[in-house]
Amino acid sequence: MNLKTIIWNGLLVAALCVAGFLLYRIFRQYSLEQIVQSVRGIPFETFATALLFAAASYLCLSCFDLLAIRSLGKSLPYRRVLLASFISLSLGHNIGFAGLSSGAFRYRYYSRWGLTTEDVAKIILFCGVTVGLGLITLGGFALIVNPADAARLLRLDAASTRVFGLLALTVPAVYAGLAFFIRGKLRLWRWSFQLPRFPIAVAQVGVGTINFMLVSACLHQMLATFGDVAFFRSVTAYVLANSAILATHVPGGLGVLEATVSYAVPQQASIGALIAFRCAYFFIPLTLGTTLLLVSEFIFRRSRSAGEQAEERAEAQSV
């Protein structure tokens, strides 16, 4: 067993330990009675719909990786991209520092399928840019459509909030414009950035925005159970909460999500809605992702062992 194998085995064990610890930490602040009552308080149809929105979000996130690989001029079967993306992000969302934590799992999978370390680094950067574009775009729309809640949280007047919303929408427009007019690298002082082709840049803005709309819809399903909440109010709450989560890198947004959502929608942000949302978007994907990680590792090692045995037999026959 070489050093690289030992290191990755250690990381795998560490990831499983972290996953177990995260499950404990996510739910230790709630009593079992609170969790049971929260889940029971959500109608089955509502929770199922929220799960569909969460699943659609993770499918959308896999398109981030797919676009990144296409922008590199590479090709991988979508089932492989989906597997690597879901495992990486279901764990990365909960561990915190999603770019780095999910990046380690991405490298684990993509390096097996022929991508280099540089390729994986570019995929991580591409996905980070897509997240930023989606958050800024949807945030811009939320500030324009629903300025009251954002203004109260940001302590601004509604007119200023709408101005910030319009300024936010210029960011994806400028990004797409640069991709259209600049063919190649964009140079800023000492740094240079490889811009994607225009269709890919537009797709980045689109899938990034749709992803956050799907997550907001998942949250809205839960909040609407406890009160009459407008969809864009849920959007505003989640966009502001996610911005704070990205700034603080708190694992799973623990505390940050609750504080921001409760401030934006104080009447409806019950403990039940937030627990149910965490179950749908964090807890269930984390459990599935950990299971898939174990199963895929078993399959990879079994196939590698079979390949090594075949090579040994071929060598013996040649001798």
As a whole-number percent, the residues of the chain with pLDDT over 90 amount to 31
pLDDT of residue 161: 87
CB–CB of 280/50 below 8 Å? Answer: yes
pLDDT of residue 313: 59
Distance CA 280, CA 59 (A): 15
The three-class DSSP label of residue 59 is: helix
Distance CA 273, CA 265 (A): 11
Residues 102-155: pLDDT tens digits?
A: 778 888 899 889 899 889 989 999 999 999 999 999 989 988 988 887 777 677
- Decide if 13 is inside a domain: no
Residue 43 DSSP one-character state: -
pLDDT of residue 13: 62
**Between 314 and 24, where is the model more confident?**
24
Distance CA 209, CA 49 (A): 20
Residues 4-40: pLDDT tens digits?
A: 556 655 665 665 565 556 556 555 666 667 667 766 7
- Decide if 18 is inside a domain: no
- Decide if 317 is inside a domain: no
For 79, the domain range is 44-302
Residues 247-259: pLDDT tens digits?
A: 555 555 555 566 6
CB–CB of 300/60 below 8 Å? Answer: no
Residues 6 or more apart from 214 whose CB is under 8 A from it? 53, 54, 56, 57, 60
- Decide if 124 is inside a domain: yes
Determine the length of the chain. Answer: 319
- Decide if 318 is inside a domain: no
Split at pLDDT 50, 70, 90, the class of 84 is very high
The three-class DSSP label of residue 186 is: strand
Residue where the block lists tokens 């991405």: 106
Helices (H), 183-230: 198-225
Number of domains in the chain: 1
Instruction: Name the E strands within the chain.
Output: 185-188, 191-194
Residue where the block lists tokens 């009552």: 37
Q: Count of alpha carbons within 13 Å of 268, Cβ hemisphere only?
A: 19
As a whole-number percent, the residues of the chain with pLDDT over 70 amount to 70
SS3 for 100-156 is: HHHHHHHHHHHHHHCCCHHHHHHHHHHHHHHHHHHHHHHHHHHHHHCHHHHHHHHCC
pLDDT of residue 146: 81
- Decide if 5 is inside a domain: no
Q: Count of alpha carbons within 13 Å of 19, Cβ hemisphere only?
A: 26
Question: What DSSP element (H or E) covers 181?
Answer: helix 158-181
Furthest-apart CA atoms within the chain: distance in Å: 82
CB–CB of 207/67 below 8 Å? Answer: yes
Residues 188-241: pLDDT tens digits?
A: 666 667 788 999 999 999 999 999 999 999 988 988 887 777 888 888 888 877
- Decide if 31 is inside a domain: no
Residues 6 or more apart from 175 whose CB is under 8 A from it? 133, 201, 204, 205
- Decide if 135 is inside a domain: yes
Instruction: For residue 208, count CB atoms less than 10 angstroms from its CB and return exposed for 0-12, middle for 13-18, buried for 19 or more.
Output: buried
Specify the amino acid at residue 245. Answer: I
Distance CA 83, CA 78 (A): 9
